[in-house]
Amino acid sequence: MLYPRIIPCLLLRNKGLIKTTQFKSSKYIGDPINAVKIFNEKQADELMVLDIDATVKCLEPDYKLIEHLASECRMPLCYGGGIKTVEQAKRIFSLGVEKIALSSIVLERPDFVSEVAAEVGSQSVVAVLDVKKKSENQYEIYSHNGQKKSQLDLVDFVQHLEKLGIGELVLNSIDNDGLMTGYDMNLIKKVKPAISVPFTILGGAGSIEDIKQVITEHKIIGVAAGSIFVFHGKFRAVLISYLSLTDKESMIHEVLNAGAFKSSEYIEYVL
């Protein structure tokens, strides 16, 4: 049995680290390089970094910053933001990045997934979709930081992306983003059974209990988070943090002892 991967998700804007609430009200957190150094010291398993303005502002990926991040990072790094060509993707990989996250481009040109996967392998291609609840069991896909709504059916589209060659799917809940009140469990129930690639839910984590709830109910699943790694206390003071190895092992053992998994099952998720 493998131990879970615990992965902070960091947002970039104007070369700085920020955190949003429902894709609005962004708060400056600090220098991303310093954050990477702290996560190195904390021995994080993996790191996801998303430049949320690159596509909106039609900017080229910031290769100098990406190179700096990759050179400092002592863990696998996933980068997303402004990637629109295979050449850009290959250049980013050449800088030391292990995975690329594709968002708006997969809505505009789904076949781009196949083009990139053919060059770098499906295992390195992550699709990140921002979704908002329309009704109790219906969700709409948005792009450009929640500003542009698509007319695509969520389940049909993620199944199509899987056929095209994505190696991982990340669903980001716009409704729950930054609220730290828990994950959208209904969203997980709707999408997870429909695909076979690794699936990660993002948006809403406020405590380790939220993580435990997700993996207890849904077993093999990814759980991504940002706020719990950059804020501390009820006043949301800025503090870059990460679970200690002892805390991480304790959490997994508690879940296992609760009977959520059989001893032979493979467990992999991200926090």
Enzyme catalytic residues: 130
Beta bridge partners of 143: 148
Q: Which two tokens stand for residue 20?
A: 């949003």
Maximum alpha-carbon separation in the chain: 49
Classify burial at 147, counting beta carbons within 10 Å of its beta carbon; exposed 0-12, middle 13-18, buried 19 or more. Answer: exposed
Q: Which residues contact 207 (CB under 8 A, 6 or more apart)?
A: 180, 228
Q: Which residue type, as a one-letter code, is found at position 41?
A: E
H or E stretch including 234? none
Tell me, rounded to whole angstroms, the distance of Cα 112 from its chain centroid. Answer: 20
